[in-house]
Structure 1
Amino acid sequence: MKVLAATGYKPQEMGIFQPNAKEITYIKKTIEKRLIGFLEEGLEWVVVSGQLGVEQWTAEVVIKLKIEWDALKLAVLPPFLEQESIWPEQAQERYQHIINQADYSEAISKKKYDNPGKLRAKNDFIIMKTDALLLLYSEEQEGTPRYYLQAAERKAAKDHYPIYWITPDDLQQTVEEIAEGMDTLE
């Protein structure tokens, strides 16, 4: 696998309402562990659409990992022009920082949002252009990632297209590992 799509919940779908909530640290650490495993197997590109939440946190992890893994590249493919225009200012600044650090960024549609079909087209396009999907999602807690999952499952039904999950259990394991690490530091 050379090109990995990554997605998951938006912050509010996870009950995260502060941009510096401690839960984000655990999510980013879990993503980092998974990405390092893929990097050791030859991963070159991570592709996100830049949505708030897991996609932006993944992009930030990739930006950090690029320091040690110079072959790693980040692509941000928003579904339409100015997707960030309705976000709060702080979120727009975070997004702009990610765009500035990306190795490639281009909107899939060259127009502004005008219908929800652009979101489905984005999911299908990114899945079509990647070798696998990393998904932070639980089927027990539905949310917007299910649309990405459906696109990935459609591709997997025809081709080899692995779907790698990050589950609540994975996140809990990271919380416990970090807590154990803190105990040894004291």
Structure 2
Amino acid sequence: MRLLLSGYRSYELSIFNDQDPKIKVIKYSLQQELLQLLSNGLEWVITGGQLGVEQWGAQVVLELKKEYPELKLGLMFPFADFGENWQENSQEKLFSLKQQADFLGTVSQMPYSNPQQLRNYQDFMLNHTDEALLVYDSQYPGKCEYLYRDILKKTDYRLSLIDMDQLQDQAQVYFESKNSWHFE
């Protein structure tokens, strides 16, 4: 099974540094979903490397690969110069993910020139994956809204969502497990 993983960009969630506790909750939520999908035949997680859910998801996959070496990470970019205009710190994070991915590719071999490249990218991703996992809530639209709408139009394509209510529930579970007292 090939899974498309996407969701909010970091700024859409008001996350502006790597120490924000919301990242831990999102990663924990993604990990729980991916573990469940692994038991159902998940082989590939394919994502685009955008700052936010896509990169955090890639990091979770890399952690899971330690215990599930059969799991593969694919990074697909919409155009050739993807991420080159980002701040240096963000470029370094993307470079690190590129170095660790099992597959790396671009849909357009040209540098960014027009929005059609993004549309072609989205179509490519939907046509080369079997299902999607999105951290997305339709009550809080973001850049992922276009992908979400196109997924809903597809038949025989499964969509799993982690919405804001689920994130809130997972936050409670995550922080309770980290703060629980253990007596011996």
TM class by shorter chain equals: over 0.9
Structure 1: distance between partners of 2:181 and 2:42? 33
Residue aligning to 2:76: 77
Instruction: List runs of 5+ in structure 2 lacking aligned partners.
Output: none
Percent of aligned positions that are identical: 35
**What amino acid is the match of 1:63?**
L
Q: Helix, strand or coil: the match of 1:134?
A: strand
In the TM superposition, structure 1's runs of 4+ consecutive aligned residues that sit over 3 Å from their partners are none
Instruction: List runs of 5+ in structure 1 lacking aligned partners.
Output: none
Q: Helix, strand or coil: the match of 2:78?
A: coil
Residue aligning to 1:97: 96
Residue aligning to 1:12: 11
1:169 aligns with 2:165: yes
Q: Helix, strand or coil: the match of 1:185?
A: coil
Residue aligning to 2:119: 120
Q: Which moved more, 1:49-58 or 1:172-181?
A: 172-181
- Please say if residues 28 and 174 of structure 2, whose CA atoms lie closer than 8 Å, have aligned partners that are also in contact: no
* Residue-pair matches, total: 182
Normalised TM-score (structure 2): 0.95
Residue aligning to 2:136: 137
After superposition, give the CA deviation of every residue in 1:88-140 in whole Å (9 maximum; x if it has no partner): 11111110111111000011100100001111111110011000010111111
- Please say if residues 134 and 164 of structure 1, whose CA atoms lie closer than 8 Å, have aligned partners that are also in contact: yes
Post-superposition offset of 1:164: 0.5
Q: Helix, strand or coil: the match of 1:84?
A: coil
Q: CA RMSD in A?
A: 1.1
Structure 2: distance between partners of 1:9 and 1:63? 20
